[in-house]
Amino acid sequence: VTAEAITMYQRAIEIRPSAMAYSNLGTAYSRAERYTDAIGAYRKALETDDSDWLAWGNLAYVLSYEHGMAEEALETFEVAIQLAEESREANPRDPWAHSDLALYYAKTNKPKLALQRVRAALSLSPEGGEIHAAAAETYEALGERDKAVELAQKAVELGFPQQQFQRNRELSDLLTDPR
C-alpha cells in the first residue's frame, strides 16, 4: 500500500506540483522508512508553502530519526510550534492545533506546555480516536506510560485502527507493553 501511495503522489506531482502533494509524498516515504526521501519531499512542500505547521512538524520528526540531525530537528520543531501557536490563537477551538502542539512540545522537552495542550485537545474532542491516539503518543514521549496505555486503549475503543499504532515509530516501545 505504501509503495502504491508513493507512486500515486509522484504522479500527482508530475501533473500538478503542490505543497500538499509533496507533503503527502513525504508522509508516504516516512511510512516506508525512506527518511532521506521524506526529508526531500517535505522540504519541497515547504519551498512551495512554508506556512504549514504540519509539514514543518513532519519534517522535524523525520529529521529526529536521522543520525546527526537532532539540532536541525529541534529548530524545525520550533518553527512548527510558532506556526501552530499562531493557528491556535486564531482558532482556539481547533483540537488538531492543540494536539500537534502537545506532540511538538513533548519532542522539544517542554512537558508543562505539552500537558496543557494535550488536555485542551482532549477536552475539545472527547470522542476523537485520532486525538486520543496522539495524546497517547504525547504521554509516551513524556515518559508517562500508564497514561499513554490508557489513552491508546481509549483511542481503539473510539474506533482508531490498532494497526495505525503499529505504523507509528514513536509508539514502538508502547506497543511492547502487555497492557
pLDDT band at 175 (very low <50, low <70, confident <90, very high): confident
Q: Which residue has the higher pLDDT, 166 or 95?
A: 95
Whether the per-residue pLDDT at 1 is higher than 80: the answer is no
Question: CA-CA distance, 70 to 68, in Å (whole number)?
Answer: 6
pLDDT band at 165 (very low <50, low <70, confident <90, very high): confident
* Tens digit of each residue's pLDDT (9 = 90 or more) over 15-68: 999 999 999 999 999 999 999 999 999 999 999 999 999 999 999 999 999 988
* Tens digit of each residue's pLDDT (9 = 90 or more) over 98-148: 999 999 999 999 999 999 999 999 999 999 999 999 999 999 999 999 999
The CA-atom distances, in angstroms, between 51 and each of 15, 68, 128, 147, 150 are: 23, 26, 26, 33, 34
